[in-house]
A and B are shown apart, each in its own frame.
Chain A
Amino acid sequence: MKAIWQVCLMSALLALAAPALAALNVFATVPEWGALAEELGGDKVKVYVATNALQDPHHIEAKPSLIAGARNADLVVATGAELEIGWLPLVTQRAGNPKVQPGKPGYFEAAAFVTMLEKPARLDRADGDVHPGGNPHIQTDPRNVLRVAAPLTARLMELDPANAAYYQERGKAFAERFGTAIGNWEKLAAPLKGAPIVVQHKAFTYLIAWLGMNEVAALEPKPGVEPTTAWLSEVLALLQRQPAKMVIRAAYQSDRPSQWIAERAKIDAVALPFTVGGTPEARDLFGLYDDTIVRLLKGTK
Chain B
Amino acid sequence: MPSPLLVRSALALALVMAADVHAATDADLAEIRAQIRQLKESYEARIEALEQRLQAAEANASAKAVPAAASVASSTATPAVPAAAAPAAAVASASPPPTGGISAFNPAISAVLQGAYANLSRDPNKYALAGFAPSGDIVPAPRSFSIAESELALSASVDDKFYGNLIFSLTPENTVSVEEAYGVYTAAPYGIAPKFGRFLSSIGYLNDQHQHAWDFYDAPLVYQAFLGGQYQNNGLQVKWVAPTDLFVELGAEVGSGESFPGNSRNKNGTGNGNAYVHIGGDVDASSSWRAGLSYLQTAAKDREYSQLDTTGNDAQLAFTGKSRIAIADFVWKWSPNGNAQERNFKLQGEYFWRRENGDLTYDADGALGLTQNGGYRSDQNGFYVQGVYQFMPAWRVGVRYDWLNPGSVDFGSNGAYFGNTSFNPQRTAVMLDWTPSEFSRFRVQFQQAKLRPDFTDNEIFVQYILTLGAHGAHNF
Which A residues contact B (CB, under 8 angstroms)?
Answer: 1-2, 4-5, 7-8, 11-12, 15-16, 18, 51-52, 54-56, 59-65, 67-68, 71-72, 82, 85-87, 89-90, 93-98, 101, 103, 112-116, 125, 128-129, 133, 143, 146-147, 149-151, 153-154, 157-158, 161, 164-165, 168, 171-172, 175-176, 179, 182-183, 186, 190, 193, 212, 224-226, 252, 254
Expressed in whole angstroms, the Cα–Cα distance for A171 and B46 within the complex equals: 12
Residue A143 contacts which of B50, B243, B279, B473 (CB distance < 8 angstroms)?
B50
Interface centre among A63, A125, A176, A179 (most CB of B within 10 A): A63
In the complex formed, the residue of A with least CB distance to B281 is A65
Is there contact, CB below 8 Å, between A96 and B239?
Answer: yes
Expressed in whole angstroms, the Cα–Cα distance for A182 and B438 within the complex equals: 38
Is there contact, CB below 8 Å, between B245 and A68?
Answer: yes
Is there contact, CB below 8 Å, between B275 and A5?
Answer: yes
| Chain B residues numbered 450-475 whose CB sits less than 8 Å from any CB in chain A | 471-475
Provided the pairs A157-B35, A190-B61 are in contact, do residues A90 and B473 lie with their beta carbons within 8 angstroms? yes
Is there contact, CB below 8 Å, between B39 and A72?
Answer: no
Expressed in whole angstroms, the Cα–Cα distance for A262 and B188 within the complex equals: 55
- CB-defined contacts of B189 to chain A, threshold 8 Å: 98
Q: Does B230 contact A (CB under 8 A)?
A: no
Is there contact, CB below 8 Å, between A95 and B288?
Answer: no
- CB-defined contacts of B5 to chain A, threshold 8 Å: 1, 5
- CB-defined contacts of A225 to chain B, threshold 8 Å: 436-437
Residue A96 contacts which of B53, B160, B193, B333 (CB distance < 8 angstroms)?
B193
Q: Does B95 contact A (CB under 8 A)?
A: yes
- CB-defined contacts of B61 to chain A, threshold 8 Å: 190, 193
Expressed in whole angstroms, the Cα–Cα distance for A71 and B246 within the complex equals: 11
In the complex formed, the residue of A with least CB distance to B280 is A64
Residue A168 contacts which of B35, B190, B288 (CB distance < 8 angstroms)?
B35
Residue B473 contacts which of A15, A86, A149 (CB distance < 8 angstroms)?
A86
3 tightest A-B CB contacts, nearest first: A64-B280, A150-B43, A64-B247
- CB-defined contacts of B281 to chain A, threshold 8 Å: 64-65, 68
- CB-defined contacts of A183 to chain B, threshold 8 Å: 50, 53
Distance to closest chain A CB from B64 (angstroms): 11
- CB-defined contacts of A125 to chain B, threshold 8 Å: 437, 439
Is there contact, CB below 8 Å, between B188 and A98?
Answer: yes
Distance to closest chain B CB from A1 (angstroms): 6
| Chain B residues numbered 269-318 whose CB sits less than 8 Å from any CB in chain A | 273, 275, 277-282, 285, 288-290, 295, 297
In the complex formed, the residue of A with least CB distance to B297 is A1
